[in-house]
Amino acid sequence: MRASYAVGLDVGGTRIAAGLVERKGRIVREMRRATPKGGPFGVVDAIIECIAEVSSSVHPSEIAGIGIGLPAQIDFGHQTVEFCTNLPLGGVDMRGLVMSRVKHSVTIDNDGHAAALGEYRAGAAKGARDFVMVTIGTGVGGGLFVGGQIHRGHRGLGGEFGHMVVDLEGPECPCGGTGHLEAFVARPAIIRVAKEAAATFRGSSILRRAGDDPDSITAEIVIEAANAGDEAAAEIMGNVGHVLGEALVGVVNVLNPQLLVIGGGIGETCPLIIERVSQAVAGGALAGRRDVRVVPAQLGNDAGVVGAAALAFDEYESREGMHR
Amino acid sequence: MRASYAVGLDVGGTRIAAGLVERKGRIVREMRRATPKGGPFGVVDAIIECIAEVSSSVHPSEIAGIGIGLPAQIDFGHQTVEFCTNLPLGGVDMRGLVMSRVKHSVTIDNDGHAAALGEYRAGAAKGARDFVMVTIGTGVGGGLFVGGQIHRGHRGLGGEFGHMVVDLEGPECPCGGTGHLEAFVARPAIIRVAKEAAATFRGSSILRRAGDDPDSITAEIVIEAANAGDEAAAEIMGNVGHVLGEALVGVVNVLNPQLLVIGGGIGETCPLIIERVSQAVAGGALAGRRDVRVVPAQLGNDAGVVGAAALAFDEYESREGMHR
């Protein structure tokens, strides 16, 4: 019998989302929980609990496998965690640890790759064979599809769109580089600029929305204000869109994708970003490439879960030697 | 009988190179001639003459086909010229025009793609499945290999590495963009900076090498001076390498290639560029990607001819249904 479900997990620095997912990407059962602090074993325990909970209603034989997206650099071929900034998982055999405690096959991948795969299977990139997904949140990540396949590169480490230089003299990036995209568009950059603006532009609603406490300003507050027409906030988010757009002009010129999907907590909640990226690409990309569509991600937080489940289905299909 | 040769042509803005090429990439006969000025028909005439000359010694049945690299944006799937800045070939059915006058099948592609294919088949990228080739000359071009195949993107227009932004406030690029890589590292940029330097640094040999005429300064003169240890020239070329390196850090983070090949008239004649790019990548790329090798192209001007011939061999193989 062909297994009808897979369990997808999206492990983040602060929370874990898990879902029981059908082959076409529909989530039939879902849960979220906080990511345990401390070492990798607590994270593994939490993953095991999530798997047990979302899959409790179906027979094990109905489950194709477990897919896990991690906020880490993954060597996909060897299924190893190379590097992880937000969780203590670097060098840890996550796949082995989880597999030793479940009856299913486990596949791990970078969370940006999983989100791109989710949007490809059931979201904004359905049917697109050559597309780029960029996620903007606390950091910048993403995935690149070439001919209907995730492009992982030589060691599975591709897709780090946040670490392209956009300004040789620009601000320092968390990775140590100078003037990288992430240093302009991710949450910390938005908050930094918004604090400055809140102090300067008295008419802006940013500070009021943060309860008059500059330290309570979040990127979400700035986006809310921008979406409500606040001028200072709109300028901040417009500039995020502008810089992202200029970086993506380069990506379009190098990769000639048919579609750009803008996702992540920041990317998919701010229409101004989509608008500015569209403008940058329409005006700045080389001839013949300007027909690239720019759209927000559709699956929101579910993209990672759906994509992780898709990894498990793919692994199952190739194991069973079946071809869709 | 299996055809043993293909004719490869590398059509540039100023000269056409043509060669009779064996399957493994050895050029057995080669010629160069100036590119005719005027309309596309003169260029086609010149191409026909080159084909006749290099293939005169072998029987037509021994020739797998004709491959042509053009300095143009090519829609590879449709085999059409989308856009061409240096020659009046935009919208011209180059493939049809040449094919109507020869007995062979004709395949056209972007010249940067052809050069990358040449280095892959018989040069610096032999055996590398995931690599990036960047050519630096009058402009910046290149090609991207993914899993042993040229990545052409949605409409065959990928590989334009020169048009990635590296400085949001930087100099204007010939394409109309701002602060693109090409505006920092191609011939016109080197000459512009060298003229300023020649006026300021009296001790530099740049001006003397140009016969004391600032308007005679060429990029080749600056490279010669840099290679001979001239300080001002070394600073200019070192900065070219630095900016190229920073841009390639982004490429490495996004694409995770195993190899970067630096080619073109500027790229392959200046060891300082290779050195600086290596430093930038080793110091700036994200963890796990720093093992990427940085090497100069090996085939020089022949890369385009060898690669164009490889296009013809590939087309022949797929037509004959043969598999190597």
What pLDDT, in 10s, does the model give residues B133-143? 999 998 898 99
Residues of B in contact with A83 (CB under 8 A): 286-288
B292 to chain A: closest CA residue: A154
Mean pLDDT of chain B: 92
pLDDT over 60 (residue B322): no
Residues of B in contact with A139 (CB under 8 A): none
Chain A: nearest CA to B160, how far in angstroms? 5
Q: Does A163 touch chain B (CB under 8 A)?
A: yes
pLDDT of residue A324: 46
Those residues whose C-beta lies under 8 Å from the C-beta of residue B140, and which sit 6 or more positions away, are B134, B160, B161, B162, B163, B181, B182, B185, B186, B264
Chain A: nearest CA to B109, how far in angstroms? 15
Q: List the structure tokens of A260.
A: 């750009």
pLDDT over 50 (residue B324): no
What DSSP state is assigned to residue A171? P
Length of chain A (residues): 324
pLDDT of residue B1: 60
How high is the ipTM of this complex?
0.86
Cα dihedral value B156, B159, B162, B168, nearest 10: 80
Q: Does B262 touch chain A (CB under 8 A)?
A: no
Chain A: nearest CA to B69, how far in angstroms? 18
Q: List the structure tokens of A105.
A: 């096959």
Q: Are strands A80-83 and A27-34 parallel, antiparallel or unpaired?
A: unpaired
- Cβ of A130 and B251 within 8 Å? no
What pLDDT, in 10s, does the model give residues B166-200? 999 999 998 888 999 999 999 999 999 999 998 88
Cβ burial B144-178 (10 Å sphere, 16+ → b, else e) = bbbeeebbbbbbbbbbbbbbbbbbbebeebbbebb
Length of chain B (residues): 324
Positions in chain A whose pLDDT score sits under 50: 324
Q: List the structure tokens of A57.
A: 């209603």
What pLDDT, in 10s, does the model give residues A161-194? 999 999 999 999 988 889 999 999 999 999 999 9
Q: Does A1 touch chain B (CB under 8 A)?
A: no
Q: Does A154 touch chain B (CB under 8 A)?
A: yes
Report the alpha-carbon distance of residue B217 to residue B207 in Å, rounded: 7
CB-based burial of residue A89 (10 Å sphere; 0-12 exposed, 13-18 middle, 19+ buried)?
Answer: buried
Q: Does A48 touch chain B (CB under 8 A)?
A: no
- Rounded alpha-carbon distances, angstroms, from residue B82 to A287, B88, B175: 8, 11, 15
Chain B: nearest CA to A210, how far in angstroms? 31
pLDDT of residue A322: 56
Residues of A in contact with B258 (CB under 8 A): 154
Alpha helices by DSSP H, chain A = 40-55, 94-99, 111-122, 182-185, 187-200, 206-209, 219-227, 231-255, 264-267, 271-284, 302-320
pLDDT of residue B157: 77
B184 to chain A: closest CA residue: A168
Q: Which domains does chain B have, with CATH numbers?
A: 5-119+301-320 (3.30.420.40), 128-296 (3.30.420.40)
Residues of B in contact with A151 (CB under 8 A): 146, 151, 255
Chain A: nearest CA to B56, how far in angstroms? 38
What pLDDT, in 10s, does the model give residues A243-300? 999 999 999 999 999 999 999 989 989 999 999 999 999 988 887 777 899 999 999 9
pLDDT over 90 (residue B21): yes
What long-range pairs does B120-123 form, CB within 8 A, spacing at least 24?
A: B120/B145, B120/B307, B120/B310, B121/B24, B121/B25, B121/B306, B121/B307, B121/B310, B122/B24, B122/B25, B122/B26, B122/B299, B122/B306, B123/B25, B123/B261, B123/B297, B123/B298, B123/B299, B123/B303, B123/B306
What long-range pairs does A197-200 form, CB within 8 A, spacing at least 24?
A: A197/A232, A197/A233, A197/A235, A197/A236, A198/A232, A200/A232
Report the alpha-carbon distance of residue A9 to residue A31 in Å, rounded: 10
Mean pLDDT across the stretch B78-106? 91
Tell me which residue of B249, B309, B323 sits closest to B114, measured CA to CA. B309
Q: List the structure tokens of B256.
A: 């995770």
